[in-house]
Amino acid sequence: MQVSTPPFSAAALEALNDRFESASPHEIVAWAVETFGEGLAVGASFGGASGMAILHMVATLKPDVHVFVLDTSYLFEETHETMRRAVPALGLRDVTVYRPALSHEEQATRYGAALWMRDPDRCCELRKIEPNRRALAGRTAWVSGLRRDQSEGRADVAVVSWNERFEVVKVNPLANWNEKQTWQYVLENQVPYNPLLDRGYSSIGCYNCTLPGVQGRAGRWQGFEKDECGLHT
Ligand code: SF4
List per-residue pLDDT tens for the chain, 233 residues long: 455 677 889 999 999 999 999 999 999 999 999 999 999 999 999 999 999 999 999 999 999 999 999 999 999 999 999 999 999 999 999 999 999 999 999 999 999 999 999 999 999 999 999 999 999 999 999 999 999 998 888 889 999 999 999 999 999 999 999 999 999 999 999 999 999 999 988 879 999 888 776 766 556 656 666 566 767 77
Long-range contacts from 175-183, C-beta under 8 angstroms, 24+ separation:
175/146, 175/147, 175/148, 176/21, 176/25, 176/147, 176/148, 177/25, 177/50, 177/147, 177/149, 178/147, 178/149, 179/49, 179/147, 179/149, 182/49, 182/50, 182/53, 182/147, 183/49
Q: Which atom of ligand 1 is nearest to the CA of 116?
A: 7
pLDDT at 1: 46
Question: Which one, of 175, 231, 196, 160, lies nearest residue 16 by Cα?
Answer: 160
H or E element in which residue 60 lies? helix 49-61
Burial class from Cβ neighbours inside 10 Å (0-12, 13-18, 19+) for residue 49 reads buried
Which protein residue's CA is at the shortest distance from atom 6 of ligand 1?
Answer: 124
User: Alpha-carbon distance 191 to 223, whole Å?
Assistant: 33
Catalytic residues: 229
Question: Nearest C-alpha to atom 8 of ligand 1 is from which residue?
Answer: 123
Residue list, ligand 1 pocket, CB within 6 Å: 72, 74, 116, 120, 123-124, 127-128, 205-206, 208-209, 229
Taking CA 179 as the corner, what is the angle to CA 32 and CA 172, rounded to the nearest 5 degrees?
Answer: 20
Give 220 Cα–ligand 1 centroid separation in angstroms.
9
Size of the chain in residues: 233
Cα 130 to ligand 1 centroid, rounded to whole Å: 13
Measured distance CA(36)–CA(64) in Å, rounded: 13
- Quote the ligand 1 centre to 31 CA distance (angstroms): 33
The protein residue with its alpha carbon nearest to ligand 1, atom 5, reads 124
Q: What are phi and psi of 10, to 5 degrees?
A: -60, -40
How remote is the CA of residue 121 from the centroid of ligand 1, in Å? 8
Q: Delimit the domains of the chain by residue range.
A: 10-219
Structure confidence at residue 212 (pLDDT): 78
- Looking at ligand 1, which atom is closest to the CA of residue 229? 6
State in Å: Cα 149 to ligand 1 middle. Answer: 23
- The dotted CATH code for 10-219 is 3.40.50.620
pLDDT of residue 203: 79
Amino acid at 46: F
pLDDT at residue 209, rounded to an integer: 87
Of 45, 70, 71, 72, best ligand 1 pocket probe by most atoms within 8 Å of the beta carbon: 72
Which residue has its alpha carbon closest to ligand 1 atom 4? 206
